[in-house]
Structure 1
Amino acid sequence: MNAHPQMQSKMTPEEYLLFEKESETKHEFYNGEIFAMTGAKPDHNRIQSNFIWILKRQLVNSYCDVFPSDQRVKVNDQKYYYPDISVSCDDVKFDDSSLLNPIVIIEILSDSTELFDRNGKFRDYRSILSFKEYVLVSQYECFVERFRRNNDNTWNYREYNNFGQILKLESIKCELPLSEIYHRVNLLI
């Protein structure tokens, strides 16, 4: 999804949540500003569908829920985002329809969102105590990056760039073959 700022004065979190309930378009909220989420390209949607299908298949007998990009995540009172995919397990918590305790967040990178997904959003997501793994996925080449939180609150990085590799999400005990993540995706590289 792409985010585009809306031209208007700043909103309070309460005004944003009321506005979002009535809106036909999703909006992210960042320090009083709202950003409309525009439609995604077909390959972005294929990657998202593939991820969700693989995760749901592997988590079918667990207490985990897999949410698509329509599920808003609350970082704090000033930041609400719509990640491409989020996973929460056991006691899934919501506040005003916003997910409070994601364990895994997956963002499919686009030209317009990549910088913010890598930096600002990742920094913000790290403040969520339940958050354990962050996955960034290229839609243009076979390239997936996984960041995993350690017990000492440091993060490990691992990249995957071969269709024969398997992305391991240790926090939810899932293994995702890159060949399935990129099934029917038209890669440029």
Structure 2
Amino acid sequence: MNSTHINTNAAAKFAADRNDPRNGKMIGGHGADRWHNLIISNTAIGLGSRMHGHKSEIYIGNMRVALPTGLFCFPDIAVVNGEPSFTDQASETLLNPSVIVDIFSNNSDSVEKSRKLENFLAMDSIKECLQIKQDEMRVEHYARQNQKQWVYRIYNERDDVISLDSIGCKISLQEVYAGVKLRPVPLHSRAVN
């Protein structure tokens, strides 16, 4: 992985508060509601139960990840396949996540979501990224094919199964959304002549 310049003084300043990049600045994170937390738990438990015995680690919510821009973020879930690499011996800032999972609601800022995704996909270590909607059954899956090419898949059926090949795990939408109250999705009809 390319070397990343990290200002450890700035990192320490923001360590107590979740921050995400936006417009080249650090912004304070917001609290998550019941459904957001339930999706995180469901996903981490589903992946963790299948990774038992693998040389992998799962970090939930509070693991700071260094971005190629020199900024930091706190994804909802970060998975490392293999030996984790950190900026220092305190193991506070992860350099090499393999899989990132972020949960979003309809109220999430689409620009923020896009910028975070761009930052994640720019990391050499990232092999897969999931963006999970918390208020409707929809998971967007980005899987790296090579340095410049990603495969994009959308899962939106209860029986759909997401295959995270980079860590050798599969998880169903049924597991991800277990116990989560989803908003009804309006039906769109078109007149056919």
Q: TM-score, normalised by structure 2?
A: 0.84
Residue of structure 2 in register with 1:108 after alignment: 103
Runs of 4+ that moved beyond 2 A: 12-15, 25-34, 112-115
Structure 1: segments with no counterpart, 5+ residues: 1-11
Identity of aligned residues (%): 29
Displacement, 1:16? Answer: 1.6
Question: Per-residue displacement from partner, 1:86-112 (whole Å, max 9, x unpaired)?
Answer: 100111101141110011101101223
1:95 aligns with 87
Which whole-Å CA distance do the structure 1 matches of 2:51 and 2:26 have between them? 33
Give the one of 47, 50, 53 matched to 1:55: 47
Counterpart-to-counterpart distance in 2, 1:150 and 1:20: 34
The Cα shift of 1:143 comes to 0.7
TM-superposed CA distance for 1:54, in Å, is 0.5
Alpha-carbon distance between aligned partners in 1 of 2:24 and 2:152, rounded to the nearest angstrom:
32
Matched, 1:17 2:11: yes
Q: Would the aligned equivalents of 1:167 and 1:176 in 2 still touch at CA under 8 Å?
A: yes
Partner of 1:85: 77
One-letter amino acid of the structure 2 residue matched with residue 162 of structure 1: E
In the other structure, the counterpart of 1:184 is 179
Amino acid across the alignment from 1:15: N
Shift in Å at residue 30 of structure 1? 5.5
Shift of 1:20: 2.5
TM-score by length of 1: 0.85
How far does residue 34 in structure 1 lie from its aligned partner after superposition? 2.3
Is the CA contact (8 Å cut-off) linking 1:147 and 1:156 kept in structure 2? yes
Show structure 2 runs of 5+ residues with no match: 1-5, 185-193
Indicate how the Cα distance of structure 1 residues 131 and 171 shifts in structure 2: closer, same or farther if over 3 A, else same: same
8 Å Cα contact 2:39-2:177 kept in structure 1: yes
Cα deviation 1:62-99 (Å, max 9, x = unaligned): 01111111001101353111011110011110114111
1:29: Cα distance to partner?
Answer: 5.0
